[in-house]
Amino acid sequence: MATTTTARGQKAAATRKRNATRKSATATKANAKRTAASTKTTARRVSSAASAESQVRTTQVQQIAERAVLVPVGASLLARDNLVSTVKGIATKYRSRASLEREIKRYERRGATARNRFERQVRRTRTQFERELRQRRHRVEKLVSNTSDRITSVA
């Protein structure tokens, strides 16, 4: 009986070993499949990340190019609008001879006022300068007089 048990035990051990080998082979195949799938997923992620990054850069370059074109166009349109409004304002203001003469008189009065203000400022500055000059001259003369008095009294 010992032999039978041993034979049975050996048979069971062999079966277990075979099953373990099959299981490990199956597990290895499954692991390999999982690894391949994970590698594909990672590759897709990396490729999609690179693709997304390249799209972002493309968008940025496109925006810069648009700006380079749109800024001068916008500036020239703004200048044109300002010029048109200025010309319209001038045309409205000087539509008749009377309004033109009124504006010319206004400018003349403004010029005369500015000239008078400037002349007053020049007179005020000149007067101030002359007063300071007289004061300095008086101080110097007084100093010279005192010094000459001292010299003559010592001598």
| Claim to verify: residue 79 and residue 108 sit in the same structural domain | no
Q: CA-based Rg of the chain, rounded to a whole angstrom?
A: 53
- What's the whole-model pTM score? 0.40
- At 152, the pLDDT band (50, 70, 90 cuts) reads confident
33 is a domain residue: no
State mean pLDDT over 111-121. Answer: 97
Residue 155 CA to residue 152 CA, distance in Å, equals 5
Tell me whether residue 62 is in a domain: yes
Give yes or no: residues 111 and 151 share one domain: yes
How many domains does the structure of the chain reveal? 2
- pLDDT, tens only, 58-92: 899 999 999 999 999 999 999 999 999 999 988 88
Residues 62 and 114 in one domain: no
Scored b (16 or more CB within 10 A) or e, 110-137 reads: eeeeeeeeeeeeeeeeeeeeeeeeeeee
Q: According to the model, what pLDDT value does residue 34 have?
A: 74
Note whether 102 and 148 are same-domain residues: yes
Distance CA 84, CA 5 (A): 114
Q: What is the pLDDT of residue 63?
A: 92
pLDDT band at 151 (very low <50, low <70, confident <90, very high): confident
Q: Same structural domain for residues 103 and 152? A: yes
Residue 38 domain-assigned (yes or no): no
Tell whether 77 and 128 lie within a shared domain.
Answer: no
Could you tell me the residue range of the domain that residue 146 belongs to? 98-155
Q: For the purposes of burial, counting CB atoms within 10 Å of the CB of 94, is it exposed (0-12), middle (13-18) or buried (19 or more)? A: middle
**112 with 78, same domain?**
no
